[in-house]
Chains A and B, each alone.
Chain A
Amino acid sequence: MGVVQYVAKRVATYLAVLFIGLTITFFLPRLLPTNPIDSYIGQIQSRAAGMLTPEAIASLRESLQQLYGLKGDLLSQYLGYLNRVVLHFDFGPSFAYYPAPVSSMIFTALPWTLALLLISTLIAWVIGNAVGVVAGYFHTKRWATVLEIVGILLYPIPYYILAVSVILLLAYVVPVFPLSPTFPVGQLTLPMVGQILYNSFLPALTLVLAGFGWNILSMKALAVATTEEPYVTFARLKGTSHGTRMIRYVFRNAMLPQVTALALSLGMVFNGALLTEILFSYPGVGLLMRTAASNGDYDVLYGAIALSIIAVATAGLVIDLVYPLLDPRIRRA
């Protein structure tokens, strides 16, 4: 298969995934047992102490359908949605927080999510794989077993327990970090960056610890298997050093599935980290989606989920395009 054909096939698959994903995103929230207009009218009626007459409610319903873009049959709403999303990347206004535009809500939350999750995912990946390859390459040594035990201990701890333990230890027993962050406002300055890092340290630490264990264990298993490969034995007989064999022969071959996992993890970053956001009062996309789902706020759900679909699909496309560069076997195939 030629390069052009290979790339064209991947890009076509990518576009098909996006189309199907965006379509499902449109229809899925409508299966929720929640009607955003009814929810909103319920709130207003409660505030109005039941004073709104059925006629007034009918008129309000009409206005809200107009404002929320829910007028017309499902097909015309769907076509309108595709038109807005695909051509203008516009998800309309939030239903629950009208007239706030969905895009501004998402783009306020997104930098926080990306900063926290990208950094913590990368750190957990780099440290976990580094420890894992050492533990796997030297798996016959006792000290290497200790490294593996770190992974075995961390991996099964439920995230909630891990996070609360970290909070208790570093924000209560030894209160060096805040229990709930207070992010500063205004122009970004160096001290402000310091405050943001300081306030983000605990959530980031818990995410690194949570991701770290799996990376150690999986890389160690891959490294042990790779160490037994004939080409590693051949390299050893050639007289190469441990460092060369571990990095160039074992790590390079063992990391392929880890790169795939990393890319998918990075794509998933756009979903946010709901539990982290709740426990650490951290602003992000997870809380936004949670609130939108409970309020039946379709537009916010569309925006957040569509972004996630695009991110995961793009990560998949990037893996497909980058893989041949990492693995000569795929290039030759």
Chain B
Amino acid sequence: MAKPSRYLMAPLLAVLLMGGTSIGAHAQDMTDVGTPRNQTLVVQTFDGKSANPDDQNPLNSYAIWHGFRELGWSYLWEDDTSTGKSYPELADGMPQVLNPEHTKFRVKIRPGVYWSDGVEFTTDDILYTLATEFKYKDKLTNVATIVNYIKPDSWKAVDKYTFEVETQKPAYDFVQVMGVYTWASAFIPVPKHVFEKQADVTTFKNQNPVTLGPYTVKQYDPNGFWQLWQLRDDWQRSGWGNLGQPKPKYVLYKDFGAEETRTLAFVQNKYDEDTFMSPDSIQAAEAKNPAIQTFSPTMPFNDMNDACSYGIYLNQQRAPLDKPEVRWALALSIDLQTVGITAVNGEFKAAALPLADTPITDPLFYKPLLDFLTGLKLKDGYQPFNANFGSDLIAKLKDQGMDDSMLPTGDAIKAGFGQGWWKYDPAEAEKLLNSVGIKKGSDGFYTLPDGSPWTIDFVFPSDWNKVMERVGFSIADSWKKAGFNVNARQVDNGEFTTVQNTNSKLQAMINWSSSCTYNQNFLNSWRSFTPTNVKDANSNDPLSGNYLRVTDQKIFDLVADATKQETTSDAFLKDGQQIAQELTSGMQLINLMNIPTTIPTNSYYWKNYPKADNFYAAPYTWWSSFKKTIVNIQPTGK
């Protein structure tokens, strides 16, 4: 008699093997979602797993990730991330300014652009989108920027391809708000002919949406792990069909999970582009698979061109951090070379000014202000800037056994490691602290002027941002060694935002939100330095901006002046440079480094990704400029 277990196990095994066989058969040249691997660009999702993949309505929040921003939507103007300059996408040229106050604009859109369902894109769609955003501004969660920027009911169609609109205030950044600034646009046109048929657009999910971009959603995982895009047959008449032939027929966004499994999947050529991967994992993957490449073949290897930079935000409204001597002491007590080597294997680019040092910002801010940095003197005459920071770092890395061939030489040193940073000088730091009555106690830690213990609450992200987490612990270590009693706290992103926004909760934190300047338009980051964004030093009310807690009237005046200037003008840039100098000389932000975004790629199936020596676009798969990558990559033929 046959054992009952045989009847139980046999079908189970058969089903298991069927599943395994069907996928195993695909494993050679098909993706897990059944598309030919050599026609599919596979990228790791930036936001991991989506919790609400069904909601694909861009007027609500989710539908910017997993390819919507890059492949599905299209914008009036796009940002050329290799130069920082805007160019028209849906618009037919730049807007015409209709009044001297710079509040009225006329915009022409390109004829011959079609939605993915074959309906022509016209000004009706633009006006409908604006009207809907205003009508449901209390219920839609992704319209706040536009309804606070555009004047209500100010839009009108001139003809099928021309419209006029007014802004609430003089707007010199119209192109960058109504179009893309760095990674995204606040204004995403929706198809009127689809949305107007919905009973309630605020809860309309817009699944498998009608798109303006050259791709449409072919399939998505209801659990939020992956989403597959397919190239439209009529991609040439899509919103950016004029940019060139998109190379992959399919683009699969997938979360490959924890870094351990992601690295192994990368080695197995399961996907082509990653987001943030730790230097250790990249090294391990490179050693196993020669197709895996970093952004640059020499140090610091990784991409450093993000718009934002990591820095330490101090509550400079609360004693003793209200004194510039204390803030400078904290800066001079950071051994940034050791921090960078410990946290990110030395793969970082230092940035002393309050913004990232990139090929775009370097000629605008860093090079013109180099004399200011080298000549900067503190009250006691001390000159804190170390212009040889990069060379010193290289010497340290050599001492640690790094191969010469991996290290940059000549001009590449500053291009790789930055123009310089502050000296590591705990003795000068102690001198500065002593000058304001802060002295070391018997336990070796600094005490407040009244002799009471001084503990710095230092907040940084937990494992949701591993680079900041590592940098945070390393800085805390550096400060402790210099005599600061630090309470290092890694927090979830919810608490991170609360600390950032609340005066009573902030002493010191690593942050990036007020140092995001991608091109000359520094207002993106510093617009919020206004007296209206200053609250009491111990307030529990959340701030609406100005997370650096700037109270400097000179900076407020410069910001106010800048809002009246053309963002591309010399006068505007001059204001920005002066703000940078003010923030730096008062050490109102201890800026640390560009964000090392790593972005390793796998060239087994696709090649010609953006790289340091082929910088045709920022290499980020989650920025709208990823479209440049899509049209520039080439299949390898494997």
Contact = CB atoms under 8 A, between A and B. Distances in A.
A281 B255 contact: yes
| Contact count band on A | 35 or more
Contacts of A94: 51-52
B23 A42 contact: no
Contacts of A179: 256-257, 261, 264-265, 268, 270
A293 B494 CA distance: 8
The winner among B49, B203, B220, B545 for most chain A CB atoms within 10 A is: B545
Contacts of B399: none
B177 interface: yes
A142 to B, nearest CB: 27
B497 interface: yes
Contacts of B202: 99
B544 A98 contact: no
A195 B21 CA distance: 9
B225 A38 contact: no
Contacts, number: 221
Given A46-B513, A94-B52, A180 B261 contact: yes
Given A47-B184, A105-B52, A294-B464, A279 B260 contact: yes
B55 interface: yes
A108 interface: yes
A74 interface: no
- Interface of chain A, main secondary structure: helix
B492 interface: yes
B108 to A, nearest CB: 25
Contacts of B61: 43, 97-98
Contact of B223 (A57, A112, A177, A201): A112
Interface stretch (A18-26, A60-68, A81-89, A209-217): A60-68
A176 interface: yes
A100 interface: yes
B62 interface: yes
B464 A44 contact: no
A175 B269 CA distance: 13
A52 B260 contact: no
A291 B19 contact: no
A197 B16 contact: yes
Nearest to B256: A180
Interface in B263-279: 264-265, 267-268, 270
Contact of B145 (A47, A100, A175): A47
Interface string B53-82: 011000011100000000000000000000
Contacts of B493: 39, 294-295
Interface in B21-55: 22-24, 32-33, 49, 51-52, 54-55
Given A39-B494, A57-B544, 10 more contacts: A41-B542, A50-B527, A97-B55, A99-B139, A177-B20, A179-B264, A185-B220, A194-B15, A194-B22, A195-B19
Interface of B: 12, 15-20, 22-24, 32-33, 49, 51-52, 54-55, 60-62, 137-139, 141, 144-145, 148-149, 177, 181, 184, 186, 202-203, 219-226, 254-258, 260-262, 264-265, 267-268, 270, 464, 491-495, 497-498, 500-502, 505, 513-514, 516, 523-525, 527-528, 532-533, 542, 544-546
Interface of A: 32-36, 38-54, 56-57, 60, 63, 66-67, 94, 96-100, 105, 108-109, 112, 164, 167-168, 171-172, 175-183, 185, 190-191, 193-199, 201, 278-281, 283, 287-288, 291, 293-296
23 contacts: A35-B542, A41-B501, A47-B184, A49-B524, A49-B525, A51-B149, A54-B532, A56-B148, A94-B52, A97-B61, A97-B62, A99-B55, A100-B52, A105-B51, A177-B20, A180-B225, A180-B256, A180-B261, A182-B33, A194-B22, A201-B16, A281-B49, A293-B494
